[in-house]
A = this chain, B = another copy of it.
Amino acid sequence: MSLDTAKEVIDAAERRANEIDNPMVVTVANSEGNLVAQHRMDGAWLASVDISRNKAYTAAALDMPTHDLEEPTKPGESLYGLQNTNQGRMVIFGGGYPLERDGDIVGAIGVSGGAVEQDMDVAEAGVDKFDDLSS
């Protein structure tokens, strides 16, 4: 995951965040969950600095979107307790997505700053950009 690619992905997410008028924090990590780039848009929540980074970490560390963790981590479901692993870095609501090329994970994006639906919407704009760059 090059910095140039990460910046283009983040720019696309920021454009979408501006369209829906919701400032976000956007992070791109590499396939081992380490940061490549992170931007906090003006007015975005402080809490989202951590959440955005850890959504990217979670999506990279499990190679799946973070919204797929909402159901199985509920009390009584099979992965209840996953949210307590990885030293507090697991985020179990939407806004984190793996970035894949030819079926292999090469990184992840994490977006935080609005309701989960907004976070997912903005993150998906980043995923789409990544897919365009990879095709």
Number of copies: 4
- Nearest CB of chain B from residue A86's CB, rounded to whole Å: 5
- With A40-B37, A46-B32, A47-B61 already in contact, the answer to whether A80 and B74 are too (CB < 8 A) is yes
Q: Is A20 an interface residue (CB 8 A)?
A: no
The tally of residues in A whose CB lies under 8 Å from a CB in B reads 52
Per a CB cutoff under 8 Å, which of B45, B62, B84, B91 touches A61? B45
Chain B residues closer than 8 Å to A92, beta-carbon distance: 80-81, 84
A31 CA to B6 CA, complexed, in Å: 19
Q: Is the CB of B32 within 8 A of A115?
A: no
Chain B residues closer than 8 Å to A41, beta-carbon distance: 3
